Amino acid sequence: MMIKQFEKFLHYIEAPAIRGVNKNIILNLIEDEETSDMFYRDPTVDDIKFLSKYLKQNKFNLIELYHGTSSENNIMNNGLLTTKKKTKRSLSSSTGFVYISVFKEMAKTFGKMSYPKEKISVYKITVPVFFLKPDKDQLRNQRLYAKRDVIDSLAESALYGHGFRIKGDIPPYMIKKI
């Protein structure tokens, strides 16, 4: 376990310092023992409370998430750029954000939906937890189509929508191609 954590750290060590961020702890909601099982069942009220508290307690730590997009995009040089009116490929995506998933496979599926005729690459994104914003578009879909009574919180975004969004571009040093 210690070697795996160190390998994660090495990837991020090249990055410029972000004030207050602890680069020694890198969370992965799907792999971490404390959080992994809650993503494979219907979330309970206790799951939501626990994850909300967990994310708040870890806000200055790093977290690994995933993004899928066309392999033609020059992500490793340009970073992940926000959705813009001209580049928007989904009715349920707001401009000014990059959308990320807790699941690699889901990131790839979203990439395929956006670029149906292109090869898709999936990227691991390592960002401070405090960068995360709820994916209000997925939560809105949960309210409208799944008839779930959810609010726009980070925990519910993770547990029901299986993702988040980040305001602004994600620079290349926070990205690793899988």
d(CA 39, CA 57): 19
pLDDT on residue 37: 96
Domain count, the chain: 1
Is the distance from CB of 163 to CB of 117 less than 8 angstroms?
no
pLDDT on residue 8: 47
Answer with the residue of higher pLDDT: 15 or 147.
Answer: 147
pLDDT band at 16 (very low <50, low <70, confident <90, very high): low
Q: What is the pLDDT of residues 72-121, one digit of tens each?
A: 999 999 999 987 666 656 556 678 899 999 999 999 999 999 899 999 99
d(CA 56, CA 59): 5
Is the distance from CB of 138 to CB of 97 less than 8 angstroms?
no
pTM: 0.85
Nearest alpha-carbon partner for 175 in 121, 117, 134: 121
Q: Decide: helix, strand or coil at residue 65.
A: strand
Q: How would you write 86-121 as a 3-class SS string?
A: CCCCCCCCCCCEEEEECCHHHHHHHHHHHCCCCCEE
- Print the domain residue range for 36: 2-177
Q: What is the pLDDT of residues 125-163, one digit of tens each?
A: 999 999 999 999 899 999 999 999 999 999 999 999 999
Q: What is the pLDDT of residues 42-71, one digit of tens each?
A: 999 999 999 999 999 999 999 999 999 999
pLDDT band at 13 (very low <50, low <70, confident <90, very high): very low
